Amino acid sequence: MAQAYMTETGNGGGSEPGPSGSGLRRRIAEWRRDRGIWRRGIVTASLAALISLVMIFHAELPNDVGNLGSLTETFLPWIGLAVPLLLVAAVIRKSATALISIALTAAVWVNLFGGLVTDKSGTGGNLTVATHNVDAANPDPRGTAESVAKAGADVLALTELKAGAVPAYEKALEATYKYHAVEGTVGVWSKYPLTSSRPVDIKMGWTRAMRVTVKTPSGDMAAFVAHLPSVRVKLNAGFTANQRDNSANALGAALAAEPLKRVVLLGDLNGTVNDRSLSEITSQMRSTQGAAGDGFGFTWPARFPMARIDQILVRGVTPKASWTLPRTGSDHLPTAARVELKP
C-alpha cells in the first residue's frame, strides 16, 4: 500500500501536482503559453486607461457643458472604486494587458489620494476651531449645539442658522462661549473676545457670510464664515453651480483683501478643494484636512458622507490635526481642526 501511494502522489509519475504551490506554477505556465493573454481584455484595459487620464487631467475637463469638470472633481476620489471592478474583469478574461493597465490606474489613484487615506494628525496646536452646517430644518437645535460644543473648540462657526432658532443656539452655547456674533444666517461663538464683526457680500442678496476678528492669546486672527449657494445635479442641466461659483469668486476677493496675516475660513462651501471653481479661495488658503487630517474627512450627506464640502481653510497658521465630529440632527457632519498660532 505504501508503494502504491508513492506511485500516485510522488514525483516519480510527474503528471500530478506535488507540493503546495505547484498548482500556481502550473497556472502561470499555462498563462505564458496562452498567446491570447495580451490580446484579450482590450476593452477593460482601455477603460482603466481612460480612468487614469481623467484623474491625471481632470483640470482639463470642460465646464462649458453642465459643469462636467466640477462635477467630476467633486467626487474624484470615488473613481478609484472602478479599480477592483476592472480587476475582476481582467482576471476572468485572463488578460495581462488589462492587469497592467489596471495596476497603472491604481498607482495614479494612490499618487493622488493615498496621502489622504492615512492619519496625518500630529500633536501641538494652541487653538481649536470647528464648523457645522446645522440645517435650517434641524428638529433639535439645542441638542445639536450641545453636541458640537463637546468638541471643545475655542472658536465655533455655525451656518444655515434659521432666524427663529438662533435663540436656542445662543442659550445652548452660552455656558461654553462667552462671546458670539451672528450676521444673517451665519454666526461665530468664541471663548475669546470678538471684534469688528461685519457681513461679507458674496453676491447673494442676503447675508450668508461674515468676517470677525478673534482676540486670541497669541494675537488677532481674522475668522471668515461662509455658506456658499447650493449646487444641483440635474439630468437636463448637469451640475448647476453658476451662483455658487460667483459667490466663491466674491469670497476669494474678500479673503485676498484681508489685512491680518492669520486667517481662518470656516463653513459650507458646497464644493471640495479639488473643484477648480473654488480656486479663487483655495489658491490662497490651505486645507486643514489635506495637511493634517485623518482620512478623507467627508462631511456630506451625514447618513453616508461622500464629499467634504464643509471646510476649514487657513492662512498664516499651521494645521496640526483635523477630524469630523459625531452626527447631529443636521444633514451635514461637523468638522474640527487644531491649529498653531505663533505669537
Q: Which of 55, 84, 117 is the last residue of a domain?
A: 117
- pLDDT value of position 189: 98
DSSP category for residue 140 = -
If one counts the domains in the chain, the total is 2
187 plus 322 within the same structural domain: yes
Nearest to 156 by CA among 312, 314, 287: 312
Does the residue 239 lie in any domain? yes
50 plus 146 within the same structural domain: no
45 plus 139 within the same structural domain: no
Q: Tell me the residue range of the domain where 303 lies.
A: 127-340
93 plus 182 within the same structural domain: no
Does the residue 174 lie in any domain? yes
Does the residue 258 lie in any domain? yes
261 plus 166 within the same structural domain: yes
Q: What is the pLDDT of residues 65-79, one digit of tens each?
A: 777 888 889 899 999
Q: What is the CATH number of the domain that holds 177?
A: 3.60.10.10
Does the residue 322 lie in any domain? yes
Cross-sheet strand order for the sheet of 219-227: 194-199, 209-216, 219-227, 263-268, 310-315, 286-287
315 plus 195 within the same structural domain: yes
165 plus 197 within the same structural domain: yes
111 plus 220 within the same structural domain: no
294 plus 198 within the same structural domain: yes
Does the residue 6 lie in any domain? no
Collect all residues with Cβ–Cβ distance below 8 Å to 295 and sequence separation of at least 6.
116, 117, 119
Rounded-to-10 torsion of CA 97, 102, 107, 113: 160
Does the residue 316 lie in any domain? yes
Does the residue 86 lie in any domain? yes
Does the residue 205 lie in any domain? yes
The list of the chain residues with pLDDT below 70 reads 1-21, 24, 27-28, 30-35, 233-240
